[in-house]
């Protein structure tokens, strides 16, 4: 592989930076890092009505969160700037005279409304419609007259007649299209701004882009871009069109699943390394059934040849599983606490000032967080352990009702009485509690689960969570007993006289 690799990610700030965009950015980044090339970010913001500063910030924030550092682009100087298309208008106009003089482009004075009406009528009548080149047939004097008058116009690219347009895609192979299937398309809009097809060709050429790696939805635009390269007598870059990303139902990603902002995954408590890992596997595989990979491994093994042209499937269940594996096995303790405690503080369960100033309090909070660690699919689920920090929590009514039965209540009352055998108030650790309960169950000839499940609900309000005995140890004897007695009192009060 040659060493002058230059690739780019060219997001449009007209919507969220979603999974598909992030995957494209990652593959460009991996390819550049694998071969010692340059990764460039170019913002395609020529649509002034839909582009926004907020969306640009979202894109850059997402790239920072995913740690996809770029070599040139917004906020980074480079020889090929500026990196906002809205600031490159004069650059695009440099090549307009040559395209007109060589007959590759012509001015069109048809209004948007005219074209829309005729297109609609043509589709209704024959099922299709192409622009009929009426403005191409205008006499030169008439064109000059209209231009001099300031009449609104666009610039159209003239598609050559009876020509096979072809290019080689490094994933999909040879792609061919007859020119008669294309209509003369607009390359400069009436406001003077370039259209996507024209701007990206000029930018990719001037930024020396060697490989255009993008989503397969752009493959339909590529023949037009190839024609522009040829008209301007520029070398055509190599094209790589990445496979479509579908949901588990094999349908296009919706806003509910995958098509939302990447930063939503951050806010929900997914780790950036998990998201990068799952993105890498959406079309590419290093082989050997490797699933969990660090960034160094990805860079060393990435290749375009191993990208599968078949549709990729993005499954959030798989993402949850992988995130859990990263939390358990690949997250240092200090980082785990630094990421989870803010969720507890925001939920009002932990006092920020006390956590930072009181070491005993900090140690206890960290112990509670660690109890939940193996069960976390996303970091924000840490807030489900509110019952450790406060006695004012909601009980799961369905779970509670399941255990509010006379025989269960009587068994729990007997257990509480027997628990007094642990006479030393200091003996309330997980091991002692475990041993006591299992002996209690064995002496009465029933499975420990018969009492473990109701005890968990009476103490925590929910049916699942960390181990019961570790949970009881952290909550403490007095609070556990108070909660159990409260449920017993509630039951007996509701059934008094029955």
Q: Where are the beta strands (DSSP E) in 354-479?
A: none
Cβ 10 vs Cβ 49: under 8 Å: no
Neighbours of 310 (CB within 10 A): 9
- Least Cα distance to 239 among 211, 202, 208 occurs for 211
pLDDT at 212: 98
Check 144, 180, 252, 255 and give the catalytic one: 255
Place of tokens 């490159």: 88
Catalytic-residue membership of 362: no
Question: Given this model, what pLDDT does residue 256 score?
Answer: 59
CB 195 within 8 A of CB 189: yes
Cβ count within 10 A of residue 479: 15
Tell whether the torsion through CA atoms of 97, 103, 109 and 113 is positive or negative: negative
Collect all residues with Cβ–Cβ distance below 8 Å to 369 and sequence separation of at least 6: 336, 337, 340, 341, 344, 382, 385
Task: State how far the Cα of 414 lies from the Cα of 160, in Å rounded to an integer.
Answer: 91
> Domains in the chain and their CATH numbers?
6-87+246-313 (3.40.50.620), 89-242 (3.40.50.620), 332-382 (no CATH), 397-494 (1.10.10.350)
Nearest-angstrom CA–CA distance, 43 and 11: 5
**pLDDT at residue 255 in the model:** 55
Output the pLDDT for position 259: 66
The SS3 call for residue 100 is: helix
| Cβ atoms of 241 and 215 closer than 8 Å | yes
pLDDT tens string for the chain (498 positions)? 555 999 999 998 887 889 999 999 999 999 999 999 999 999 999 887 788 888 899 999 999 999 999 999 998 988 999 999 999 999 999 999 999 999 999 999 999 999 999 999 989 888 889 999 999 999 999 999 999 999 999 999 999 999 999 999 999 999 999 999 999 999 999 999 999 999 999 999 999 999 999 999 999 999 999 999 999 999 999 999 999 999 988 888 765 555 688 999 999 999 999 999 999 999 999 988 889 999 999 999 999 999 999 999 999 999 999 999 999 999 999 999 999 999 999 999 999 999 999 999 999 999 999 999 999 999 999 999 999 999 999 999 999 999 999 999 999 999 999 888 765 655 688 999 999 999 999 999 999 999 999 999 999 999 999 999 999 999 999 999 999 999 999 988 887 766
Residue 423: the pLDDT is 58
d(C-alpha 297, C-alpha 491), whole Å? 58
| pLDDT value, residue 328 | 97
How open is the CA angle 234-236-237, to the nearest 5 degrees?
130
- pLDDT at residue number 51: 81
- Quickly list DSSP for 275-339: HHHHHHTTTB--STT-----HHHHHHH--GGGB-SSPEE--HHHHHHHHHHHHHHT--HHHHHHH
Q: Give the pLDDT of residue 420.
A: 80
What integer pLDDT is reported at residue 310 of this predicted model?
95
């Amino acid at each position: 592989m040659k060493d002058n690799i230059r690739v780019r990610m060219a997001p449009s700030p007209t919507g969220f930076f979603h999974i598909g965009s992030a995957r494209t950015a990652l593959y460009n980044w991996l390819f550049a890092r694998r071969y010692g090339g340059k990764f460039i970010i170019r913002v395609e913001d020529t649509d002034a009505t839909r582009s926004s500063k907020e969306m640009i910030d979202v894109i850059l924030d997402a790239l920072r969160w995913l740690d996809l550092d770029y070599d040139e682009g917004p906020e980074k100087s480079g020889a090929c700037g500026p990196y906002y298309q809205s600031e490159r208008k004069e650059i695009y106009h440099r090549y307009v005279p040559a395209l007109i003089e060589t007959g590759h482009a012509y001015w069109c004075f048809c209004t948007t409304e005219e074209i829309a009406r005729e297109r609609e009528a043509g589709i209704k009548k024959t099922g299709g419609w192409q622009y009929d080149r009426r403005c191409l047939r205008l006499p030169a004097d008439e064109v000059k007259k209209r231009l001099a008058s300031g009449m609104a116009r666009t610039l159209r690219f003239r598609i050559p007649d009876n020509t096979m347009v072809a290019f080689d895609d490094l994933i999909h192979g040879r792609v061919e299209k007859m020119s008669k299937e294309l209509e003369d398309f607009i390359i400069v809009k009436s406001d003077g701004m370039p259209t996507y097809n024209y701007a990206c060709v000029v930018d990719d050429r001037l930024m020396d882009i060697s490989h255009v790696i993008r989503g397969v939805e752009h493959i339909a635009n590529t023949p037009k871009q190839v024609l522009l390269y040829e008209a301007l007598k520029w070398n055509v870059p190599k094209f790589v069109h990445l496979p479509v990303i579908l949901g588990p139902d094999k349908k296009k990603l919706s806003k509910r699943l995958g098509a939302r902002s990447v930063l939503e995954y951050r806010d929900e408590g997914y780790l950036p390394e998990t998201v990068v890992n799952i993105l890498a596997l959406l079309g590419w595989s290093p082989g050997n059934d490797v699933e969990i990979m660090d960034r160094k491994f990805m860079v060393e093994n990435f290749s375009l040849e191993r990208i599968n042209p078949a549709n990729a499937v993005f499954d959030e269940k798989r993402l949850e599983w992988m995130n859990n594996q990263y939390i358990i096995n690949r997250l240092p303790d200090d980082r785990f606490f630094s990421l989870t405690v803010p969720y507890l503080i925001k939920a009002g369960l932990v006092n920020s000032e006390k956590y930072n100033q009181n070491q005993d309090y900090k140690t206890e909070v960290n112990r509670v967080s660690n109890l939940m660690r193996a069960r976390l699919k996303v970091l924000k689920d840490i807030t489900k352990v509110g019952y450790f920090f406060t006695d004012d929590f909601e009980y799961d009514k369905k779970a509670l009702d399941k255990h509010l039965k006379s025989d269960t209540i009587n068994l729990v009352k007997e257990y509480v009485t027997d628990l007094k055998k642990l006479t030393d108030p200091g003996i309330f650790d997980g091991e002692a509690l475990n041993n006591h309960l299992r002996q209690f169950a064995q002496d009465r000839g029933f499975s420990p689960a018969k009492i473990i499940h109701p005890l968990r609900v009476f103490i925590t309000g929910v049916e699942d969570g960390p181990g019961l005995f570790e949970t009881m140890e952290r909550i403490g004897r007095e609070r556990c007993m108070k909660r159990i007695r409260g449920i017993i009192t509630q039951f007996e009060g509701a059934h008094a006289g029955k």
